[in-house]
Structure 1
Amino acid sequence: MYENRQYISELARIIGISRPLLYIHLRKLEEAGLVKASMEISSDGKATKYYELTHFDMRLTPQMLHEISKEINLEDEKSQ
């Protein structure tokens, strides 16, 4: 997705998940500033929303990874 932008149907097909589920994930990524969306109107008048990755730099410390792993373990325990 860094190389070019994609629309929902194309991304869903590539990733292998439903469009509604992908939309939920993309909306969260957009809120976090990791992807950006733009709406365009094609020559036939159809509106298409395109998504592309934003450039970001995320540095993880050992402490952050430890905290994340604790959260994942708690979620696993709840689901059992």
Structure 2
Amino acid sequence: MTVADLTLVLGALASPQRLRVLAELGRESVHVSELARRVGMSRPLLYGHLTRLEQAGLVVGHHSVSPDGKALRHFEVVPFDLHVTPATVARAVAESPEEGS
């Protein structure tokens, strides 16, 4: 993991709203409109948070079609196990010396 990878993931997790989104998606895959209702957020704001989580590799989105023909975008959590220790940070810096200076 590089410094850029580590900061991308940590930055995505450094938001109470994104943590709520991850917690909800950890229960089940759900389409954006339903997810917005569950977390009490507008869809445009939710899409911003989902984009940040997707860029960090923490969630993945896919399209589907509802029985009535509407296009739906579903998201689900990508399983992850993150352990940040001084050694993790040192390895990231060692693998990315240009980013660590």
Q: Same fold (TM over 0.5)?
A: yes
Residue 6 (structure 1) aligned to one of 10, 30, 43 = 30
Higher relative CO (Cα under 8 Å, sequence separation at least 6) belongs to: 2
How many residue pairs get aligned? The number is: 64
Structure 1 stretches lacking a partner, 5+ long: 65-80
Partner of 2:81 in structure 1?
57
Please state how far the C-alpha of 1:2 moved relative to its aligned partner: 2.2
Match of 2:58 in 1: 34
State yes or no: 1:25 paired with 2:88.
no
Question: Higher Cα Rg: structure 1 or 2?
Answer: 1
Q: Which has the higher helix share?
A: 2
Give the alignment's TM-score, normalised by structure 2: 0.56
Aligned to 1:70: none
For residues 69 and 38 of structure 2, what CA distance do their matches in structure 1 show? Answer: 25
Off by >4 Å, runs of 4+ in structure 1 = none
Question: What is the distance in 1 between the residues matched to 2:65 and 2:33?
Answer: 16
Structure 2: stretches of 5+ with no match in the other structure: 1-24, 90-101
